[in-house]
Each structure stands twice: as structure tokens, then as C-alpha cells.
């Protein structure tokens, strides 16, 4: 399947949330122009969000330095090696550091997105969205919110 | 700042459910309040 994006790093407008994904994230994470572009968006973007191995992209841009993160279950050890200054957790659906949210693999992106919706627009809205999507297996507490009890 | 514009960065080879689950979640939340503006971007060659 081919997807035609709206923008490239040459003309993308500013955004409140930037989201990155897995599935061949390696080339993007190793591309110096993409990494520089992300770094340039750091202060103007309210939230960075990654699903699966998208964590490698934002991690290479320094966004996970000294933070806690997660990624696709088979890539936990590789992310630990790639980001020695990041605490990488397994067995968690998402990790919220405040401005930077990472999720585990693939379907965990739904949990992370629901968490971000809850954070921005309230728990009740996130529950309504989960119900509408028939994602009735959603357990909000399966993520870690750093700093909360 | 109201956090309403979301940009999804797509790699060449992005897993469809990585992307689609999050997109669907943000999109559906628009039915219950101020919708997110959803945009997609990539990089040449990816």
C-alpha cells in the first residue's frame, strides 16, 4: 500500500503533537537531516509520541535522554544499547514522561493515544473513544506515568 | 496552547497498525469535542 504524505521536513507546519512509528524506523533514526529537523521542533512541540520502534527516532534526537521509555518487545535490548542514558522498560504498554510518551509495539499505540487523549481532553472522553472503537480490553493503568503514584 | 494539530511521521515501511491505531484514536475523539487536525509527513526517500 502506498501512502502519500501531506508534507516533508522541508514544508511541514508546526504542530502540537508529533508522532513517530515503527516498521523500518532504522533509516529515519539514522538520517541526520530528520534528526536535526526533530531537534529543531523540540521547543515548539507540546508532545512527542512514539509507537513501537518509533522510539529509536526520537531517542536519536535526544528526546529520551535521562528519561524512561519503552518500545516494541523484541527491541527492548537494542534500545537500551542505543540509548544508554535512557531507562528502557519492558512489560509496560506506554510510558509518559510529561512531554514525551513512548509506547510498546503496534497495538499498544492505541493505549498510548487513548492516554494522550485522556491527558488533553479528560478521562471521560478517552473512555468514550475506547467504547466507540470497541476497544473494550483497554486498561488505562497498564501504562506508567512517570512521577505519579 | 491547545494541543490540536497532530503530525504523523511516516517511514517507508511503517507498520499499518502502529499508525492506524493512533490515527483512529485521535480522529474518533473529534466526535466528542474539538477535533484534532491530523496531518501526515514523511521524508524524501523514506
- Please list, in sequence order, all residues whose beta carbon lies within 8 angstroms of the beta carbon of residue B42, skipping any fewer than 6 positions away: A3, A5, A8, B9, B10, B11, B12
Mean pLDDT for chain A overall: 94
- The beta strands (E) that lie in chain B are given as 5-9, 37-41
Contacts of A110 in chain B (CB under 8 A): 21-22, 24-25
CA distances from A125 to A73, A121, B7, B36 (A): 29, 6, 21, 13
For residue A58, give how far its alpha carbon lies from the nearest alpha carbon of chain B (Å).
Answer: 11
pLDDT digits (tens, 9 = 90+) for A7-47: 999 999 999 999 999 998 998 899 999 999 999 999 999 99
Confidence at residue B3, expressed as pLDDT on a 0 to 100 scale: 62
Supply φ then ψ for residue A17, to 5 degrees: -130, 135
Confidence at residue A148, expressed as pLDDT on a 0 to 100 scale: 78
With an 8 Å Cβ cutoff, is A134 touching chain B? no
pLDDT digits (tens, 9 = 90+) for B2-27: 569 999 999 988 999 999 999 999 99
Whether the per-residue pLDDT at B34 is higher than 90: the answer is no
pLDDT digits (tens, 9 = 90+) for A51-61: 999 999 999 99
Largest CA distance in chain B: 37
Q: Dihedral, CA atoms, A129, A127, A107, A48, nearest 10 degrees?
A: 80
Amino acid at each position: 500500500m502506498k501512502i502519500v504524505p501531506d508534507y516533508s521536513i522541508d514544508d511541514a507546519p508546526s504542530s502540537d503533537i508529533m508522532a513517530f512509528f515503527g516498521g523500518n524506523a532504522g533509516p529515519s533514526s539514522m538520517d541526520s537531516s530528520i534528526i536535526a529537523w526533530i531537534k529543531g521542533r523540540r521547543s515548539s512541540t507540546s508532545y512527542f509520541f512514539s509507537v513501537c520502534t518509533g522510539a529509536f527516532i526520537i531517542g536519536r534526537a535526544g528526546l529520551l535522554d535521562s528519561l524512561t521509555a519503552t518500545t516494541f518487545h523484541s527491541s527492548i535490548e537494542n534500545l537500551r544499547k542505543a540509548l544508554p542514558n535512557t531507562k528502557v522498560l519492558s512489560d509496560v504498554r506506554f510510558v509518559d514522561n510529561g512531554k514525551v510518551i513512548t509506547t510498546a509495539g503496534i497495538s499498544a499505540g492505541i493505549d498510548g493515544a487513548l492516554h494522550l487523549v485522556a491527558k488533553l481532553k479528560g478521562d471521560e472522553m478517552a473512555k468514550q473513544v475506547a467504547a466507540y472503537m470497541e476497544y473494550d480490553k483497554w486498561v488505562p493503568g497498564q501504562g506508567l506515568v512517570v512521577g505519579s503514584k | 496552547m491547545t494541543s490540536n494539530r497532530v503530525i504523523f511521521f511516516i517511514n517507508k515501511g511503517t507498520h499499518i497498525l502502529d499508525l492506524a491505531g493512533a490515527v483512529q484514536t485521535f480522529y474518533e475523539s473529534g466526535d466528542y469535542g474539538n477535533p484534532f487536525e491530523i496531518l501526515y509527513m514523511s521524508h524524501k526517500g523514506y
